């Protein structure tokens, strides 16, 4: 199921529907399938399309953490918090703040 979804999403990349939402969806599917490295790549691509996509910053942090890239997760969440604050996205801001605090406590 998930591999079919990933294949379908990848088939749309580079086409007229390519954009932040498509790359976010692909990154989410890849992360769910356990492919954190490719998820990070796709989420970074989503953020190239739309650097103000709070949810992409949040998921990028999770994908980085899944690769044990604590510095990458920290940076993603810090940038995501700034974006969420600028957009008034209180829920995303709160979630990323919690994730960041937990990560900082582990260090």
- How does pLDDT run across 49-64, given as a tens digit for each residue? 999 999 999 999 999 9
Confidence of residue 106 (pLDDT cuts 50, 70, 90): confident
Show the domain range for 92. 1-105
Confidence of residue 81 (pLDDT cuts 50, 70, 90): very high
Q: What is the CATH number of the domain that holds 92?
A: 1.25.40.10
Query: Residue 47: is its pLDDT beyond 70?
Result: yes
Query: Residue 16: is its pLDDT beyond 90?
Result: yes
Which of 32, 33, 23 is closest to 55 using CA atoms? 23
Which of 91, 86, 92, 23 is closest to 57 using CA atoms? 92
Average pLDDT over residues 9-14: 96
Look up residue 52 and give its DSSP letter. T
Task: Provide the whole-model pTM.
Answer: 0.94
Q: How many domains does the chain have?
A: 1
Residues ≥6 apart with Cβ < 8 Å to 32: 2
């Amino acid at each position: 199921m998930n591999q079919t979804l990933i294949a379908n999403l990848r088939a749309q990349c580079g086409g007229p529907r390519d954009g932040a939402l498509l790359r976010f969806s692909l990154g989410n599917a890849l992360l769910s399938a356990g492919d954190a490295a490719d998820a990070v790549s796709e989420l970074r691509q989503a953020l190239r399309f739309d650097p103000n996509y709070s949810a992409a910053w949040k998921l990028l942090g999770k994908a980085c953490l899944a690769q044990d890239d604590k510095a990458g997760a920290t940076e993603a969440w810090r940038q995501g918090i700034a974006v969420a604050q600028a957009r008034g996205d209180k829920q995303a801001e709160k979630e990323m703040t919690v994730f960041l605090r937990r990560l900082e406590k582990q260090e």
